Structure 1
Amino acid sequence: MTSDPVFPLAAPVLTTEPDGFSLVLSGKLVLTHSAAAPCLFVGQGQERMEMYRGNFDIEDYVVERVALRHAAISGDVIDLSPSPSEPARLRLRVEGAALRFEALDPAINRLWLRVQAEAGEHVWGGGEQMSYFDMRGRRFPLWISEPGVGRDKTRELTFKADVAGRAGGDYYHTNYPQPTYLSSRRYALHVETPAYSVFDFRHEAFHEIEVWAVPERIEFFDASDFEGLVEQLSTRFGRQPPLPDWVYGGAIIGLKDGEKSFERLECIRAAGAAVSGLWCEDWVGLRHTSFGARLFWDWQANETRYPALRQRIAELRGEGIRFLGYVNPYLCADGPLFPKAEAAGYFARDAEGKTALVDFGEFDCGVVDFTNPAAADWFAEEVIGRNMLDFGLSGWMADFGEYLPVNVQLANGVDAKLMHNPWPTLWAEVNARAVASRGMTGEALFFMRAGFTGVGAHCPLLWGGDQSVDFSRHDGLVTVISGALSSGLLGNAYHHSDIGGYTSLFGNIRTPELIMRWAEMAAFTAVMRTHEGNRPRDNLQIDGDEAVLSHFARMTRLYVHLAPYLRSLSDEAVQRGLPVQRPLFLHFPGDRATYAIQDSYLYGRDLLVAPVWREGETSREVYLPEGADWEHVWSGERYEGGATIPVEAPLGRPPVFIRQGSVWMDLFRTLATL
């Protein structure tokens, strides 16, 4: 759990009323309570949680839900009870910009809070939300899990994934939930709790927050504009270091073809692609499963698959190309690191006190217990420090973090149900500690898909997870835009995705069009990175088609051309916490037409990017925010803001617009010449 905020914030004003109270934040009513309309409910629930390969089946039986209608107020302390004749069950304290909670009844394990809402209000945040950027009108459980395959219960793909492995997702499933939201009323709210929680935005008059514990506190953030809110939230949850200088040299090419990866890299470069890194997940070796080729989860170089790898890494570095690998917080039971960790007592344990084994899909692993300081230190120093950084790696995918079982025993004695959500933050901290120990913060780049409150203080780069290799509305290309925008508002400045998607199941495979459209979007993000996917041999790769490779190479040159601008955005992220990819309303708060747009974004302040995300389309409609004039990058045609315009968008010319008056006009206009 994170510590109390240490920066000054506007404190809510508590007003006592005849039969209750209200809480006002800079003139905005956020809580109102009376006997007839209480805002707080408490009770008890009995949950059932079953995990299968990172997917959870969760049910709750509510034993009791009682309205706390009576409020006894003394100064900034509020004692709440069901009636004046019954004992208080919950105590609230107004402390600065937060409400602190104390259970006076130890039986309470459920709490519901109703926050005032307004008609026409919009809400964003919730961590990394892939389906709906504007969360108003829907209910969002906040629990870390696999995001699911398909994520749309009406699709055949999702149905098949459910039947085959209970792996079909829904709109709210995410690798990175966070109980924080921003409102169009220009305030933000954060629930400080590790427990399962729910944000329910379906009611017009109030937002209901449900927590399966009594939260430590609820924090309020207030600003006159959205930029100020993002600055506050990024300060609260932690800001990332600047992007490493080497990243600006081009794309990170993901290949997992053993030593053949080096030959293929040379062919990609010969085609004119600008390359900054070679990312080989399979540096640790492979195993083959029904899901596809999987990595061998024992974190050290596999000399059989990559002979003389240390020398190869040094040679690449001499050419200005960094080498990246892969790691996750688990150790396979059939690998050499497992017995070492088990002998030292570094694994989470089962009910019998033995090493808890988790099925990851045809192989079992132990969960390294990061609540044990010795285990966290060992993993940071021996595994990441010596086996990876000292070996020459400049970065890696720090995968998973979602799989902490809820029935294991941990060294810190805390119920695993209360450690499950914070687990990715602990995992990020282990990686960051290893990087810092080598003096490589801001130089080594690891990226994560899992997250929770505070992950931004440790993780330098998010990635959008395992999208399907398609154009689908809830699991394809367009979802990573929503993920970038929602997580960016909470202080995660850098976001990127697997170019071409990852998950290929039930005959769903990449098309040339998909890869090219994804690359067009990626050229206008913080990092360009390719991925071969879970079934590399069944799916088209960037070097498997001449037209695809030529198109991809050009997109990398666009990315490199914009490097001076991206550097300025990285500087701004460090100084102010503003994300690289921004919702349109961040800089156009007066234009309410921008509040629900999630398929286009501002790349910094001065470029508007509207990727083509529907299959077969060669044009699309784009809304240009009111308050600026815009210039189409490819044609030079100018438009007045405040209107939706049709834009021709053949392959190679994604809709991109320059804000008139930008100091970067000359740089942007020369994009059309590349």
Structure 2
Amino acid sequence: MELVKLNDGFKLLYQDKCIIHHTAENPSIYIGYGNETVEMYRGNFDIKDYVIERYPLKSFTIQKINNGYSLNFENKLTANIKIEDNRFLMDFEKKDDKINRFWIRIDADENEKCFGCGEQMSYFNLRGRNFPLWTSEPGVGRDKTTYVTWRSDVENKAGGDYYNTNYPQPTYVSTKHYYLHVDSTAYADFNFKNKAFHELQIWEVPKQIRIEAAPTYIELLEKLTGFLGRQVELPDWIYNGAILGLQGGTERSFALVDRSLRNGIKVSGVWCQDWAGKRITSFGKRLNWNWKWNQEMYPELPEKIKEYKAKNIRFLAYNNPYLVKEGDLYKEGKEKGYFAKSLDGNDYLVDFGEFDCGVVDFTNPKAYEWFKELIKKHIIEFGIDGWMADFGEYLPTDLQLYNGSPAMIEHNHWPVLWAKCNYEALVETGKLGEIVYFMRAGGAGSQKYCTLLWAGDQSVDFSMHDGLVTVICGALSAAMSGCGLHHSDIGGYTSLFNNCRTKEVFLRWAEMAVFTPVMRTHEGNRPEENFQYYDDADTLEQFARLTEIYTMLAPYIKSLVSINAASGLPVQRPLFLHYENDEKTYDIQTEYLFGEDMLIAPVYLPDAREWEVYLPNDQWVHLWTGKEYEGGTVTVEAGMGFTPAFYKKNSKYASLFESIQKQYGIK
């Protein structure tokens, strides 16, 4: 990587490919100022911008300093540049306080592809679209042409669009073999529509733009995760089977666990999200947001936790960083002054859907420590071995925070603070690596603090922007953003407007989940209206088979999780990660490599009995029949329970895969 000084500008090059090209005629940097309007309704944001001025920085002076350069753009903006070890750092400082808009153009090739920007659920290759980067509810339907999205928009402003995500990140990876990261938590919009350049807009002057290059994508991800941080390995108990998402109290939940065991289902944990109590709203069953044991719903829970832990089955719970105003924990926090304030100085209350909650102000060190101690006391010391650390993306923009930072800046930072709070609770109790919590919200830096990413609240269907197929795209884009442990609610979660989970949706989702780091079910927001795994004997039998296959794969999956922790190489990988010279692999977002040795092509449409799969040039063996293939487009059987899966013939795990084929393959 080198910086080339021109008569009227400069170029940043890597392997003779231009990344940034700045001249007076075609400046790469623009500054300006504008006013935004932000409206939030239950985690769904309507954001509009009015740009008052946009000004191109055409001229600059350049001065050599130590091992870099100092650039002065018309006394409006300065940038200090360092280049070392194929790493380009550009640190900015604004000279005009009214500047609150920043644009930079990054050179692009017409055939270039880009990946990342956090967890994107609709499109893996970012080229041809723009991606507003703002953590929020992802939306229900996420496709403006569908009835479900339209109805969600009309009734709840919640339909969403292709770019809405719980986990945005101002980072992308280019097929020019570099990654670019913007050091800012402000609202951003990364626009990849122009054939000649990518235009990145940030609603502040960023602290830094960081670009690193490497000859391979594997080395590039190692650099990216080395910078952002890496996830720790999962606890060993995870691989004992599925985590069963159940609810309704002690008697019902543990009775279903026992029934599952009697039917041969391998169980690693029971996750009762309503352990703190429940409430019923128009959306469906919701939780009592007071994060401690509800003794009325779950009598004798401590004894049950010990009983089932002796059977190597862990108990998992739920929490989030908001507290319902009727609860005793809210009253305690209010007395201490630990909640974010509204502009009139009162506690800011957020409507979470027919109930109001206070926002624990994590910028207040005492509030942060207080909530961390609540996690230790009411969850970890209680004997719980995992939980869903939900939400994190709701921080309103019209409140006051303890540290005085604008909420527009802290909003995208909030998921990271929330993850860090959970992480430190484990570290300080010595439980890191023994306990797992899973999160849907994220941002730059979540990688180190998020023990397991979860794909959020998909619709319980096969829809292309909110159904089963989106969790594949989500896993791949998160992987290219440096987060390599990903899983989803088996069968999806959101059921609205007569859109209900079917047996087929559940089983197709379950057979895919076998080939992810974690299998976990969810009864959904309307359990009684949706198909559950325990609803018929056939599903119990099929699900038992799938959990058995998952446990057989445990040695292989553990090795992938270990690699992710050591080097940042994700468990679920895009095909081009290992087949860089195969141009077709760059446009595939419905298949993935499960480690280096397996390729998975989940069935994501209804009524399929055969499935077309693209195999890169290699020696592949179909997991279910043992038939061998050498690459290209092939069609294989895809009956229920036999999601298209292949392994490399020369894999050191070949004997393991062969044993699965012999025991559970197509006869």
TM-score by length of 2: 0.97
Q: What is the 5 A alignment of 1:8-407?
A: 12-75=1-64, 76-79=68-71, 81=73, 87-96=74-83, 97-259=88-250, 260-381=252-373, 383-407=374-398
Find the aligned partners of 1:27 and 1:323 in 2 and give their Cα distance.
55
- What secondary structure does 1:331 align onto? strand
**Cα deviation per residue 1:543-593 (whole Å; 9 max; x = unaligned)?**
012222211111111100000001111111121111110110111111111
**Cα deviation per residue 1:456-492 (whole Å; 9 max; x = unaligned)?**
1111100000000000000000000111111112221
CA contact (8 A) 1:519 1:555 kept: yes
Q: Which stretch has the larger CA shift, 88-97 or 330-339?
A: 88-97
Residue 337 of structure 1: how far off its partner (Å):
0.7
Among 632, 637, 640, which residue is 2:627 paired with?
A: 637
Question: Does 2:540 correspond to 1:553?
Answer: no
Counterpart residue type for residue 36 of structure 1: E
Among 649, 657, 667, which residue is 1:668 paired with?
A: 657
CA contact (8 A) 2:27 2:58 kept: yes
Find the aligned partners of 2:489 and 2:455 in 1 and give their Cα distance.
8
- What secondary structure does 1:420 align onto? helix
CA contact (8 A) 2:232 2:448 kept: no
CA contact (8 A) 1:90 1:104 kept: yes
Q: What is the 5 A alignment of 1:540-619?
A: 540-619=531-610
Find the aligned partners of 1:311 and 1:297 in 2 and give their Cα distance.
23
Residue 636 of structure 1: how far off its partner (Å):
1.1
Find the aligned partners of 2:407 and 2:121 in 1 and give their Cα distance.
26
Aligned length: 655
Find the aligned partners of 2:115 and 2:443 in 1 and give their Cα distance.
16
Alignment match, 1:7: none
Residue 617 of structure 1: how far off its partner (Å):
1.3
**Cα deviation per residue 1:24-52 (whole Å; 9 max; x = unaligned)?**
23433110011111111111111111111
Find the aligned partners of 1:309 and 1:487 in 2 and give their Cα distance.
36
CA contact (8 A) 2:12 2:20 kept: yes
Residue 88 of structure 1: how far off its partner (Å):
2.3
Find the aligned partners of 2:551 and 2:174 in 1 and give their Cα distance.
36
Counterpart residue type for residue 90 of structure 1: L
CA contact (8 A) 2:321 2:359 kept: yes
- What secondary structure does 1:23 align onto? strand
CA contact (8 A) 2:183 2:208 kept: yes
Residue 13 of structure 1: how far off its partner (Å):
2.2
Counterpart residue type for residue 501 of structure 1: G
**Cα deviation per residue 1:215-240 (whole Å; 9 max; x = unaligned)?**
00000111110000111111111111
- What secondary structure does 1:199 align onto? strand
CA contact (8 A) 1:45 1:110 kept: yes
Residue 80 of structure 1: how far off its partner (Å):
5.1
**Cα deviation per residue 1:150-172 (whole Å; 9 max; x = unaligned)?**
00000010000000110001000
Counterpart residue type for residue 665 of structure 1: A
**Cα deviation per residue 1:410-438 (whole Å; 9 max; x = unaligned)?**
11110011000010000000001111111
- What secondary structure does 1:540 align onto? coil
CA-based RMSD of the aligned residues comes to 1.0
Counterpart residue type for residue 78 of structure 2: R
Counterpart residue type for residue 286 of structure 1: K
- What secondary structure does 1:170 align onto? coil
CA contact (8 A) 2:69 2:82 kept: no
Find the aligned partners of 2:3 and 2:273 in 1 and give their Cα distance.
54
- What secondary structure does 1:510 align onto? coil
Alignment match, 2:504: 513
CA contact (8 A) 1:80 1:91 kept: yes
Residue 79 of structure 1: how far off its partner (Å):
4.0
Find the aligned partners of 1:537 and 1:178 in 2 and give their Cα distance.
36
**Cα deviation per residue 1:114-169 (whole Å; 9 max; x = unaligned)?**
00111211100000000001111111000000000000000010000000110001
**Cα deviation per residue 1:218-263 (whole Å; 9 max; x = unaligned)?**
0011111000011111111111111101001000000012121100
Find the aligned partners of 2:497 and 2:506 in 1 and give their Cα distance.
19
Find the aligned partners of 2:364 and 2:310 in 1 and give their Cα distance.
39
Q: What is the 5 A alignment of 1:355-504?
A: 355-381=347-373, 383-504=374-495
Counterpart residue type for residue 197 of structure 1: A
Find the aligned partners of 2:637 and 2:102 in 1 and give their Cα distance.
51
- What secondary structure does 2:223 align onto? helix
Find the aligned partners of 1:353 and 1:77 in 2 and give their Cα distance.
46
- What secondary structure does 2:501 align onto? coil
**Cα deviation per residue 1:323-375 (whole Å; 9 max; x = unaligned)?**
00000000000111111000111100111111110000100000000111111
Find the aligned partners of 2:611 and 2:148 in 1 and give their Cα distance.
26
Counterpart residue type for residue 278 of structure 2: L
Residue 112 of structure 1: how far off its partner (Å):
0.8
**Gaps in structure 2 of 5+ consecutive residues:** none
Find the aligned partners of 1:43 and 1:380 in 2 and give their Cα distance.
40
Residue 275 of structure 1: how far off its partner (Å):
0.4
CA contact (8 A) 1:68 1:80 kept: no
CA contact (8 A) 2:140 2:148 kept: yes
Counterpart residue type for residue 599 of structure 1: T
Counterpart residue type for residue 518 of structure 2: V
- What secondary structure does 1:70 align onto? coil
Find the aligned partners of 1:78 and 1:567 in 2 and give their Cα distance.
47
Find the aligned partners of 1:311 and 1:514 in 2 and give their Cα distance.
36
Runs of 4+ in 1 over 2 A off after TM superposition: 25-28, 76-81
Find the aligned partners of 2:51 and 2:636 in 1 and give their Cα distance.
52
Query: Identity of counterpart residues, as a percentage?
Result: 51
Alignment match, 1:8: none
Counterpart residue type for residue 420 of structure 1: H
Counterpart residue type for residue 592 of structure 2: Y
Find the aligned partners of 1:52 and 1:330 in 2 and give their Cα distance.
16
Alignment match, 1:6: none
TM-score by length of 1: 0.96
- What secondary structure does 2:32 align onto? strand
Counterpart residue type for residue 298 of structure 2: Y
Find the aligned partners of 2:192 and 2:480 in 1 and give their Cα distance.
18
Find the aligned partners of 2:245 and 2:358 in 1 and give their Cα distance.
27
Residue 71 of structure 1: how far off its partner (Å):
2.1
Counterpart residue type for residue 52 of structure 2: V
Residue 107 of structure 1: how far off its partner (Å):
1.5
CA contact (8 A) 2:228 2:445 kept: yes
Find the aligned partners of 1:490 and 1:62 in 2 and give their Cα distance.
30
Counterpart residue type for residue 57 of structure 1: D
- What secondary structure does 2:317 align onto? strand
**Cα deviation per residue 1:521-549 (whole Å; 9 max; x = unaligned)?**
00000000000000011111110122222
